Chains A and B, each alone.
Chain A
């Protein structure tokens, strides 16, 4: 079974702090994703990465950056945390299918980090 592990289940930080959320997957997946999940909204993609050191912006990248130095680890960074970044953050990974298509592959999620910015 694929295991995606997020470093913290709950995190409380202050406005203006630099915040690091870590995610590790153990199945050698090429693709990794960071989402935020807010009540009444669908998952929104922040960033994704299809290879080591590669990253692509998602729908809401503003205020965030990412790092993927190793294949198994994908970090999300809040450069200067603000209260509107209080949310549930979900990390996911997936394989790349035949023909280089990752969009038809299921994503495997971590349990999430509930982040509160005070």
Chain B
């Protein structure tokens, strides 16, 4: 079966750095997305990785290793507004999007 694993919940401190991991077992791979979802709001697109390596976008970076079936989202200089759920989603060989359950990130002052 197809599976995306993310930690259910993480806690970090304002101003610190946090890494949210995502491992996947899918039938093929055609890309990986990260989305942010604040409570009661729409998921919003953060990043897309299709090649191995690190993509940096301001305070957020996303890393992909296709050989390991692994990605992480790195958030730097954490702010209270970064408290949200972070969703990992993988496009499989049939171009279907498989979603993880999301990681709830709690930022403490």
B interface with A by C-beta (< 8 Å): 4, 8, 30-31, 33, 40-45, 48, 50, 87, 89, 91, 95-102
Contacts and interface: CB of A to CB of B under 8 A. Distances in A.
Interface residues of A, number: 19
Interface in A100-116: 101-104, 106-112
B3 to A, nearest CB: 10
Please provide the 10 A-B residue pairs with the shortest distance between their CB atoms, ordered closest to farther. A42-B99, A106-B45, A109-B42, A103-B95, A43-B99, A103-B91, A109-B43, A111-B42, A42-B101, A42-B100
B9 to A, nearest CB: 11
Interface of A: 4, 40-45, 90, 101-104, 106-112
Given A40-B101, A103-B91, A103-B96, 11 more contacts: A42-B4, A43-B87, A44-B99, A90-B42, A102-B95, A103-B30, A104-B50, A106-B45, A111-B40, A112-B40, A112-B41
